[in-house]
Structures are given as C-alpha cells and as structure tokens.
C-alpha cells in the first residue's frame, strides 16, 4: 500500500512511526514532513494546505491511502476533493470537520444532539459581547470561533479580563479571521480528559485515554498553547468508564451527523471536563490530538494502517484494538517565546543517543535540515520527548532523563508533566 501522510508536526511524526511498522506498507510519503519524518518517509515539498498540489501528487503516484494530520486542510475540504477523484482518504469531509473549524457550529450541534456542554452565547458584535461579559457571572471562557492553532481560548476570572480578551480577539484580531466571531461560555470546574475514537460514521472504536497540558508554564500558568505535554492512560478515569463517557459525549454526535446525511469518518477527539454533575464537552477536534497522539500510539499494539484504510472506505470491520499495559508520557521541548514569536534555525544537540533507545521516542514537532545537514529548530514546539514505563512514574523519569540530554538555544519545557496524576497514584 502506498500512503501519503499530510503534515509536519509531532503528531505526524508519531503517525509516520506507527504506519511504517505495518506489513501492508509499500511506500510512505509525507508532505511536507520534517527532519524526523524524513528518516521514515520520502518527504514531498508540498504544503499541507496546497490541496490541488497534493491531489496532483496523489494521482500521479497512485496513492492508495492519504492520511491527513492537521485540521486546516480538513476544514478546507481536502477529503471531499480527493474523494471526488476516487482517492481514499482518512479524515472527515469539510461539513463535519466544521466541528473543529467553528466553535459556534460545534456548540450548536452539541445542543441539537443533546451533548452536555457549558452554557454559552455566540457574538459577532464586539460591543454586544462586551456588554454581555460585564453583566455575566464570572469566571467565563472566551473562544475565538475559527481555527487558532489551539491558542484561541482565554480563561477570564474578572469582567475586566473578559473585556480585554474580547478587544484582543475581535478588534486587534490577534487570532486573525478566527476572531470574527466568539463563543462566551461558563467556565467549568473539574478534571480534564481527552477521549479519541475511530469511526466510520456508525461503528466507534475508542483509543486509549490521555490528558494533555495546555498552559505554557509549570503549575498551569501562562498562556494556552497547542500542548506542552501529555500522559496516557489518564489514571483518574478507569478504562471501564470510557464507554459511558463515549455514550454521552461522542455517540450522539456520530449518530446525529449520520442521520443528517453527513457521516463522520476518521478520528474524533473530544476534550471534556469531568464535573461533579458528570462529563461536559469542551470542544471537538476532527483529527488526532497533539501531543496526545505521541502518548497514545506508542501504547498501541494493533496495526493502525488497515483500520484507517477501512474507515476511508466507509466500512470499519475491526472491532477492538490491542494495547500495551505500559504508561506513556511526552514532554514538549519548545522555542523561547512560544506560544508567541520565536527564532528558528538553532542546532539541536543530543538526538543521536536515542535512535536505538528502547521505550524512548523523539518525535519531531518543528525541525528541519539546514545547509550543513544539521537538524535545527523550525517551529514553536520543537520536539515531543516520549517514554514508556511500567507505570506513570517510570515513564515520567525516563522522559525527563531524555530531556536532560537534548538541548538547543532558547529551549524550554514544563517540568511538571503528569505530576498531579503521579501524586494521585501515590
């Protein structure tokens, strides 16, 4: 099977690593890929957002399956375009990808299909939005409606903070056109959980549970990022309870979309808050989470490639997936300044030591080769340093030992990934 993987981040490196293990794979291409992915796949100099260029390549090379990593091409309708030409692609069409592409659309669908979610209001007028938050009970969460690379969510404890956030999002447009519209919702309290499933629009197969860390700095301080680390499994949620959460948070959406003639095919990610009143959905993503993918896939025993091919064909035959009992942690090493502006091009030292290291994986998130054939930084999130262990503490220690041996100018990471979960276990 010839496979084209679209994307260039840590999620895509983890997917490439897993796909490359399949005996069904004949040739793996990645567009555009990164320095780490280039060791597993032939990288194609084509942007993930260049749908026509990707389509031309896939037709020319007779690609059997295209796997889409990032959300932007999904929301732009890549899967629809490929399907029009008879190409199999793993990922939802544009209509259903709007679950991630528009927070307002997603919240309205949750209400329509009876999915528990925080009370909310939608605004396109900044004056009306400001008036609402001044009169509202705090705290609230303000979300840019469109795609903002995981950064368009602002927690506000006071009305002053809320007004300032609205000014930045809707007037200064710090998230670009994503801030044309906003969702203002009540802030929920509880334990966060990420649940991912594979579905063909009917059958649903859960992936292992995970928990990510969105804030930039230790103790959940600083701005929201695309994710600074993750761990799996989420020890606070017994695996036996995942089915019940899926029935509340995911099944109504999958069944509702199918009944409305828009079957969802691909991976569906639900970000949830487990409150004293039960699970509430914070958001949906229409692709593998990042950095959740980097801790889920190392725990997966089953071959992922045939499952994705079945979903792309619209007939999921597989019933369950097999998992390792080991725990997994990933620590993101980022560039100084992230999630704001940052410099690129700094050489990364220490990577060679982990090429054959058992249970330690260095997934490249933002890397490139320079003219001297050195691997250098090329993004805000640079590396996802991942480790398996017999338990969460062992995985944690192994991951941070690896972090200590890798360095690049201006690099930083959170030092508390998984700490709360480990304390619970103690």
User: Is 255 in the same domain as 158?
Assistant: no
User: Is 176 in the same domain as 205?
Assistant: no
CATH for 305: 3.30.470.20
Q: Is 143 within the bounds of a domain?
A: yes
What pLDDT score does 91 carry?
A: 97
Cis amide linkage into residue 212, ω under 30° from 0: no
What pLDDT score does 357 carry?
A: 85
φ and ψ at 404, to 5 degrees?
-65, -15
The CB density around residue 272, as the number of other CB atoms within 10 Å, is 25
Q: What is the domain range of residue 268?
A: 191-312
Q: In the predicted model, what is the mean pLDDT of residues 60-70?
A: 98
User: Is 164 in the same domain as 195?
Assistant: no
User: Is 398 in the same domain as 301?
Assistant: no
Of 180, 210, 226, which one is at a domain's C-terminal end?
180
User: Is 266 in the same domain as 369?
Assistant: no
SS3 state at 317 = coil
Cis amide linkage into residue 223, ω under 30° from 0: no
What pLDDT score does 234 carry?
A: 86
User: Is 303 in the same domain as 198?
Assistant: yes
User: Is 202 in the same domain as 170?
Assistant: no
d(CA 112, CA 125): 24
Q: What is the mean pLDDT of the chain?
A: 95
Q: In the predicted model, what is the mean pLDDT of residues 13-33?
A: 98
Tokens standing for residue 40: 């597993």
Q: In the predicted model, what is the mean pLDDT of residues 103-129?
A: 97
Q: Helices 251-259 and 239-249, interaxial angle, to 10°?
A: 40
d(CA 14, CA 296): 9
The mean-pLDDT minimum among 92-101, 115-124, 310-319 falls in 310-319
User: Is 221 in the same domain as 303?
Assistant: yes
User: Is 146 in the same domain as 207?
Assistant: no
pLDDT of residue 425 exceeding 80, the answer is no
CATH for 168: 3.30.1490.20
pLDDT of residue 421 exceeding 90, the answer is no
Give the confidence band of 424 by pLDDT, cuts at 50, 70, 90.
confident
Q: What residues contact residue 230 under an 8 Å CB cut-off, 6+ apart? A: 194, 210, 211, 212, 213, 289, 291, 292, 294, 295, 329, 330, 417
Q: What is the pLDDT of residues 357-395, one digit of tens each?
A: 889 999 999 999 999 999 999 999 999 999 999 999 999
pLDDT of residue 238 exceeding 80, the answer is no
Task: Report percent pLDDT > 90 for the chain.
Answer: 89
Q: Is 115 within the bounds of a domain?
A: no
CATH for 343: 3.90.600.10
User: Is 276 in the same domain as 341?
Assistant: no
User: Is 206 in the same domain as 297?
Assistant: yes
* Number of domain units in the chain: 4
The CB density around residue 337, as the number of other CB atoms within 10 Å, is 12
User: Is 306 in the same domain as 203?
Assistant: yes
């Amino acid at each position: 099977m010839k496979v084209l993987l679209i994307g260039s981040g840590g999620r895509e490196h983890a997917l490439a690593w897993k796909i490359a293990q399949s005996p069904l794979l004949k040739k793996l291409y990645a567009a555009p890929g990164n320095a780490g992915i280039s060791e597993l796949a032939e990288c194609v100099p084509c942007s993930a957002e260049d749908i026509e260029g990707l389509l031309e390549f896939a037709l020319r090379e007779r690609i059997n399956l295209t796997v889409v990593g990032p959300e932007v091409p999904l929301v732009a309708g890549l899967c629809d375009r490929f399907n029009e030409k008879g190409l199999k692609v793993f990922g939802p069409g544009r209509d259903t990808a709007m679950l991630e592409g528009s927070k307002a659309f997603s919240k309205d669908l949750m209400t329509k299909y009876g999915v528990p979610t925080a009370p909310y209001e939608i605004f396109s007028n900044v004056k009306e939005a400001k008036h609402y938050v001044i009169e509202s009970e705090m705290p609230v969460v303000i979300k840019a409606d469109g795609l903002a690379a995981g950064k368009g969510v602002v927690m506000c404890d006071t009305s002053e903070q809320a007004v300032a956030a609205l000014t930045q999002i809707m007037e200064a447009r710090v998230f670009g056109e994503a801030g044309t519209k906003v969702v203002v919702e009540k802030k929920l309290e509880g334990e966060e959980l990420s649940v991912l499933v594979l579905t063909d629009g009917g059958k649903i197969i859960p992936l292992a549970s995970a928990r990510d860390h969105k804030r930039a700095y230790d103790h959940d301080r600083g701005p929201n990022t695309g994710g600074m680390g993750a761990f799996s499994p989420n020890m606070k949620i017994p695996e036996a309870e995942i089915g019940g959460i899926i029935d509340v948070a995911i099944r109504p959406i999958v069944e509702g979309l199918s009944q409305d003639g828009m079957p969802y095919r691909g991976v569906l990610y639900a970000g949830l808050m487990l409150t004293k009143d039960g699970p509430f959905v914070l958001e949906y993503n229409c692709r593998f989470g990042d950095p959740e993918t980097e801790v889920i896939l190392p725990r997966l025993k089953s071959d992922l490639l045939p499952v994705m091919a079945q979903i792309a064909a619209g007939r999921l035959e597989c019933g369950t997936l097999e998992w390792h009992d080991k725990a997994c942690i990933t620590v993101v090493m980022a560039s100084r300044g992230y999630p704001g502006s940052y410099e690129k091009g700094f050489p990364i030292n220490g990577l060679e030591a982990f090429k054959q290291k058992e249970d330690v994986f260095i997934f490249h998130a933002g890397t490139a080769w320079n003219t001297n054939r050195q691997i250098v930084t090329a993004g805000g999130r640079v590396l996802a340093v991942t480790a398996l262990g017999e338990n969460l503490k062992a995985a944690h220690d192994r991951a941070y030992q690896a972090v200590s041996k890798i360095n690049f100018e201006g690099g930083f990471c959170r030092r508390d990934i998984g700490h709360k979960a480990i304390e619970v276990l103690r």
